[in-house]
Amino acid sequence: MEETLFLKKDMYDQIENYDFSGLKKALSMEREDIARQVKESGLKGRGGAGFPTGLKWELALKEKSDKKYVICNGDEGEPGTFKDRFLLEYNPVKVLEGIMIAAYAIGADEGYCYIRGEYHRPVRIFKRIIEKAYDKGILGKNIFGSGFSFDLHLVKGAGAYVCGDETSLLNSIEGKRGSSRIKPPYPVSKGLFGKPTVVNNVETLTAAAEIITNGPEVYSRMGTEGSRGTKLVCLSGDVQKPGVYEIEFGRMTLKEIITEFGGGIRENRKLKFVVPGGISTAVLTADEIDIPYTYEDLEKAGTSLGSGAIIVVAEGHNLVSLLNNVSRFFMDETCGTCFPCREGNRQVHHILKSNSERFSERDVRIISDLGRTIHLAARCGLGQTSLNFINSVFDKFGNELMERKEITGG
């Protein structure tokens, strides 16, 4: 099977080679119509939460304010995810176009592109694109003589996973500590510096640019009812050919993605499990991956598509050490605002660390209870999803992890 090329079709890394036809088309349209077309396309946010993009733009457009912002979220902190880096390196011109279309659509005149600090090369590339865009009058005042003006700034993250969460990201740009805000108010009504703000993922904005350029029908024709269009998946771990692949929703199963694009498991080992959407999603065992790759099918299987990070894990890894690795990540990355998330993840790590081989039923129950408590009490997605991986591994590989019950006589 072949990749479905939509985002990967016409990629531009040089601003000179592109005429910004999508942006020009947008500038000739009514603002409402842009949001409507994006709505019709069925595009959902690709940053993990899957919120309908057109609706977000429509809500932001309706907000009355002297100032609005657009933010491109390129923090990409979820382990296993590298599609935004791919776009920023190979297709930065379309990313820029997406940001500008979003800005025009909601009536924003200023924006930020927030890129993960470790991404030195994408930062350098995107910085140059912004400079050149100013030189050519594509950014700045009265763009293409349309009367629309827009300024774009680049901000580098400082390596905190929680800053990928949109409200933490707003704090981070404002120069405050990177911790989440209480919602509501949502960023669309009170975002950056208290003004209406649209935060969108890099891939979302790139898709929006292509949708406006090519028309919403092209996009809505692809995929399934609940999952329109294409998705960039990031294949990593124990596969022969890791990389970024573009998939039309519903055309392939998760299994086919791994065997056909990934070239199967390395060194002919057996598949143990798959992390289908980054380490904040529940794992699927080898028997559970014969399902179409869509939002709805993964949800039915009790997990989520997340950011599109598919991490393949073969037999032969130490499960406890993997659990420890994931737990350590969340313990380090919690911002500490909500007590259950801060202390709960620490406790879970403590339990996992103090058992090198087998866990008692009590341990597993405590971990599961903590998971539920954190999920209910957490203010942001980090806490809510922090135990998905760990609990699902206990759930599915309990027989390998739990103490064997001794049969005591009498």
Ligand X SMILES: Cc1cc2nc3c(=O)[nH]c(=O)nc-3n(C[C@H](O)[C@H](O)[C@H](O)COP(=O)(O)O)c2cc1C
Residues in the site for other proteins, rule: CB under 8 A? 76, 79-82, 85, 116, 118-121, 123-124, 127, 234-238, 242-244, 266, 275, 279, 309, 311-314, 317-318, 321-322, 325-326, 329
Nearer to ligand SF4, 180 or 324 (CB): 180
**Size of residue set near ligand SF4 by CB under 6 A:** 15
Is 169 an interacting residue with respect to ligand SF4 (CB under 6 A)?
Answer: no
CA angle 234, 289, 7 (to 5 degrees): 30
Q: 56 vs 272, which CB is nearer to ligand X?
A: 56
Nearest by Cα to 71 from 176, 195, 179 = 195
Binding piece for ligand X, criterion CB under 6 A, among 146-154, 194-202, 224-232, 247-255? 194-202
Candidate list 37, 201, 206, 334; residue touching ligand X; CB under 6 A: 201
Q: Which two tokens stand for residue 29?
A: 């349209």
Question: Could you tell which of other proteins, ligand SF4, ligand X, none binds residue 166, using a CB distance below 5 to 8 A set by kind?
Answer: ligand X
- List Cα–Cα distances, 368 to 66, 276, 322, 326, 386, in angstroms: 48, 21, 17, 15, 11
Indicate the residue among 56 and 396 with the shorter CB distance to other proteins: 396
Taking the complex as a whole, the smallest distance from the CB of residue 138 to other proteins amounts, in Å, to 21
Residue 199 interacting partner from other proteins, ligand SF4, ligand X, none (CB closer than 5 to 8 Å by kind): ligand X
Helix or strand (DSSP H, E) at 237: strand 230-237
Query: Which of 61, 282, 326, 341 is the binder for ligand SF4 (CB under 6 A)?
Result: 341
Q: Does 58 bind ligand X (CB under 6 A)?
A: no
Asked if 76 and 164 count as a contact pair (C-beta separation under 8 A), the reply is yes
How far is CA 143 from each of CA 28, 33, 201, rounded to the nearest angstrom? 12, 19, 24
d(CA 102, CA 26): 9
> Per the structure block, which two tokens stand in for 214?
């090519």
Amino acid at site 86: F
**CB hemisphere CA count around 314 (13 angstroms):** 15
How remote is the C-alpha of 80 from its chain's centroid?
Answer: 11
179 binds, among ligand SF4, other proteins, ligand X, none (CB under 5 to 8 A by kind): ligand SF4
Nearest to 103, CA basis, from 151, 40, 45: 151
Select 54 or 164, whichever has its Cβ closest to ligand SF4.
Answer: 164
Min CB(354)–ligand X separation in Å: 27
Q: How far is the CB of 236 from ligand X (least distance, A)?
A: 16
Q: Which is nearer to other proteins, 313 or 374 (CB)?
A: 313
What's the CA gap between 166 and 56, in Å, rounded?
Answer: 13
Among 132, 156, 381, 402, binds ligand X (CB under 6 A): 381
Q: Which stretch binds ligand SF4 (CB under 6 A): 23-31, 38-46, 194-202, 375-383?
A: 375-383
How would DSSP label each residue in 357-388? S-B-HHHHHHHHHHHHHHHHH-SSHHHHHTTH
Q: Does 378 bind ligand SF4 (CB under 6 A)?
A: yes
Starting from the edge strand earliest in sequence, which strands make up the sheet with 284-285, in order? Answer: 243-248, 230-237, 309-314, 271-275, 284-285
Residue 335, interface with ligand SF4 (CB under 6 A)? Answer: yes
* Of the candidate residues 334, 385, 388, 392, the single one contacting ligand SF4 (CB under 6 A): 334
What residues line the site for ligand SF4 (CB under 6 A)? 162, 179-180, 334-338, 341-342, 378-380, 382-383
